[in-house]
Chains A and B, each alone.
Chain A
Amino acid sequence: MIKKPIFIILVFMLLILPEARSFAAFEMSLAEGFQTIDFGTMQMDEKKSITRKGNYEHRFDFTSDTGRTWYFKTHMMRPFTSAQHSIPAENMQWIVEQVVNGGGLVSNSVGSPGNFSTSPVLIYTSSGNDSTGTTVQIKLKYNLKIPEYQAAGSYTAHIRFIMVEVL
């Protein structure tokens, strides 16, 4: 009968611990910039960079204290589309302008453009220190090149950025 309190404590731990685990920090936020990237008006064959925050467009903040490697990825859920016309995902590029507080690896190196794709593309791989609770900042800018031949119209694209622990 003396063992009963121990049993109750163990059951309590069983219920509480998974919840306690979920309090571990694993967060990504759009700290600067807008939810829409507006390239405005463009002509066929024109190339434009978007940097509304000085030399970048978005700042994403990442915090993880799980101790595990995390990855920052992106993919275009829906390429630029207007009625039956579309602009290939690869015509838009992301560029990491700066990484603050991060010791990880930028896939295309800082300042070099990488193409968007309809499948996930790796932007950044964290290093060990990035998962100890510090906030890593990644500043991005974007390029868009309108194809040489492109129907006129108002195009929109849906882009997803993901922070994930699975490559």
Chain B
Amino acid sequence: MTIYRAKCNIIRVFASLAVVFAVLMPCICNADEVMEDIFASVVVLPVFDINIDNNYLNFGVVNPGDSVTLKEGTYYNTIKCIANKGRKYYVKIHIFGEVVGPKGNKIPSASFKWRIYHTEGRGIAATGWQEFSDEPQVVYTSDTEDEIGKELMLRFQYKLDLPGSAMGGHYGLKVVYLITEIE
């Protein structure tokens, strides 16, 4: 009988502890958490643009065999490009239409030259004086920073090396600048 009572007491103690445990554990351990997932969207619009402040090159009156640089010691014009398509692009240059010069006198396009005077772009820029040609020439190849919308600025110098055999007179030309994804 005594053993039975002792057993009952043990069971009673365990049961009481179990009740206390059951009541307190959710309070102690079961810190609740609920969540809600939301999705956000935006479309960033593409930009692919070029701006030129002056594309007419007026060399004035040039004598045969003379070399004339426009605005010697500084730059003549600036072009600005913005593109954010995330793809490589190229800036190209070429002569537009006929060279303005003395009547009946034709001089080769290569007599006109251009060079990049200054750029902060980190892409590949042509260096040194380059001869114009009738076909577009690559002036600058973009890098990844240019391709996500950072404005690219290119400042140019131009010169005319008039051949000794050419006629002296007033010379000028128009230049076309392109921004393209085609090499």
- Where the two chains meet, the residues of A that have a C-beta atom closer than 8 Å to any C-beta of B are 3, 6-7, 10-11, 13-14, 17-18, 21-22, 26-30, 35-44, 58, 60, 64, 66, 68, 70, 77, 80, 82-83, 85, 87, 92, 142, 144, 146, 148-166
Contacts and interface: CB of A to CB of B under 8 A. Distances in A.
Contacts of A22: 26, 30
B38 A37 contact: yes
Interface string B24-40: 01110011111111111
Contact of B39 (A6, A37, A142, A150): A37
Contact of B40 (A30, A42, A80): A80
Contact of B46 (A26, A77, A92, A152): A152
Contacts of A36: 38-41
A58 B86 CA distance: 33
A14 B33 contact: no
Interface of B: 8, 11-12, 15-16, 18-19, 21-23, 25-27, 30-47, 84-86, 145, 147-150
A140 to B, nearest CB: 10
Interface class of chain A by DSSP: strand
A151 B84 contact: yes
Nearest to B21: A14
A150 B149 contact: yes
Contact of A153 (B26, B37, B47, B86): B86
Given A44-B84, A148-B149, A38 B41 contact: yes
From A26, A151, A160, name the one whose CB has the most chain B CB atoms within 10 angstroms: A151
Given A17-B19, A165-B32, A149 B148 contact: yes
From B19, B32, B86, name the one whose CB has the most chain A CB atoms within 10 angstroms: B32
A70 B43 CA distance: 36
A162 B22 contact: no
B44 A158 contact: no
Contact of A160 (B19, B35, B44): B35
A7 B34 CA distance: 36
Contacts of B25: 18
B138 to A, nearest CB: 22
Given A14-B15, A153-B44, A163-B35, 16 more contacts: A10-B19, A14-B22, A28-B34, A28-B35, A36-B41, A38-B40, A77-B37, A82-B44, A150-B44, A151-B149, A152-B44, A152-B86, A154-B42, A154-B43, A155-B43, A160-B38
B182 to A, nearest CB: 18
A44 B45 CA distance: 8
Contact of A162 (B26, B35, B84): B35
A147 B35 CA distance: 29
Nearest to B22: A17
B33 A165 contact: yes
From B12, B42, B45, name the one whose CB has the most chain A CB atoms within 10 angstroms: B42
What 6 A-B pairs are tightest by C-beta distance, nearest first?
A152-B46, A21-B26, A10-B15, A151-B86, A39-B42, A26-B32
